[in-house]
Amino acid sequence: LNDFYFTDIHGLTQPIACTYGDAFVIFASGTWSSQFSISYYAATFTQTLPLLMHLFIYRYFVLKRS
């Protein structure tokens, strides 16, 4: 379900990520370009990481059991 939200938010904000040294900045170039939209995009992006982590842990234990 989060993948649908993430795709929609990405399409509306069209984020541009810039890195320089230790700095990391995200700009919005889409139709929904506010500070809230970038914050919401970052939140939906980071929600996928724990889901993937749990998926790989589950696969590890399933493979270890067989």
Q: pLDDT tens digits, residue range 11-37?
A: 899 988 899 999 988 888 888 888 888
Number of domains in the chain: 1
Give percent above pLDDT 70 in the chain.
95
Q: What is the pTM of this model?
A: 0.59
Domain that holds residue 57: 2-65
Examine the pLDDT at 1 and tell me if it is beyond 90. no
What's the pLDDT at 2? 66
Is residue 7 pLDDT above 90, yes or no?
A: no
SS3 per residue for the chain: CHHHHHHHHHHHHCEEEEEECCEEEEEECCCCCCHHHHHHHHHHHHHHHHHHHHHHHHHHHHHHHC
